[in-house]
Amino acid sequence: MNKSNAHDDEPNPLFNQSLEKGLAVLCAFSAQRRSMTLGDLAEAADISKSSAQRMVFTLEQLGFVRKHPRTRRYQLTPHVMRVGYNYIAANPVIDLANPYLAELTNATTETTCLTEADGLEMVYVARFVSAQFVPVHMPIGSRIPMYCTASGRAWLAALPDEEALALLRASDRPAHTRFTITDEGALMRELNETRQRGYAVNREELFLGDMTLGAPVLGSRGRPVAAVHIVAPTSRWTLEEAESRLGPSLLACARSLSNSVRALD
């Protein structure tokens, strides 16, 4: 977990380390770690076992975690979703985006999504699912890396070169498939092409069979606030067909949403 005082010589007296540890425990759970022992939690959260015990006890009393009666392993409760839902409910961009995404899905019959940046990842915050086959299920809250996804590259392309390059260099950039572009120079060329087209393309770089086109949503200062992307499974689309038939609708959606977002400022 990133610390607000990570770059300071002296710790800030306002920084609450207990809160940091409690959040680290909550964030330690994942699809790969759905339930954990106290020792597992301490290791995953990078805290001592005694600290983990205090954090888990408090979180259990507050209803955020529970202990399985048979396995004695800890797991999250639905109460955790209250925090995430509050963000979605309070986010005006999501409210503005929903009608545009619904219209885009109706017009293209394909799945459309809104993502927002968090560190080196894009987070799904809205989604309208096609009635047709979709190769990958990405529920709200799912995270995808910036460097190898259409929404991530759309976001990066809307930034100045030096900022985009810094984010790329901070990314590990593993090759998820044989199509994943990981080279720094090649990725910067992709961003330049994205700026020229107005949208980014991901051709099976994260998941096989999954192709997406993404465009940035810009705020009043020309900075990206989100990205819209449309899923074009390779079982139904070639890249050329997707660009010619889906690209214009995607760009129109992103422009309209950007105009609505700027009106809020």
Span 155-208, pLDDT tens digits: 999 999 999 999 999 999 999 999 999 999 999 999 999 999 999 999 999 999
d(Cα 110, Cα 240) in Å, to the nearest integer? 16
DSSP letter at 19 equals H
| The predicted structure's pLDDT at residue 9 | 61
CATH of the domain at 186: 3.30.450.40
Q: How many residues does the chain have?
A: 265
d(Cα 57, Cα 73) in Å, to the nearest integer? 13
Span 26-61, pLDDT tens digits: 999 998 999 999 999 999 999 999 999 999 999 999
| The predicted structure's pLDDT at residue 93 | 97
Contacts of 123 (CB under 8 A, 6+ apart): 115, 116, 117, 141, 142, 143
Domain end marker among 34, 55, 80: 80
| The predicted structure's pLDDT at residue 51 | 95
CATH of the domain at 27: 1.10.10.10
Would you say residue 68 has pLDDT above 80?
yes
| The predicted structure's pLDDT at residue 5 | 46
Domain end marker among 26, 49, 80: 80
Q: What's the mean pLDDT in 144-164?
A: 98
166 falls within a domain = yes
Q: What total of structural domains would you count in the chain?
A: 2
d(Cα 45, Cα 28) in Å, to the nearest integer? 6
Residues 232 and 196 in one domain: yes
11 falls within a domain = no
Q: What is the mean pLDDT of the chain?
A: 94
Q: To the nearest whole percent, how much of the chain has pLDDT over 90?
A: 90
Judge whether 261 and 218 are in contact, CB under 8 Å. yes
68 falls within a domain = yes
9 falls within a domain = no
Span 213-227, pLDDT tens digits: 999 999 989 999 999
Would you say residue 81 has pLDDT above 60?
yes
Q: What's the mean pLDDT in 118-128?
A: 97
d(Cα 195, Cα 230) in Å, to the nearest integer? 17
Residues 76 and 112 in one domain: no
121 falls within a domain = yes
46 conformational bin, left if phi > 0, alpha if psi -120 to 50, beta if neither: left
165 falls within a domain = yes
Residues 152 and 251 in one domain: yes
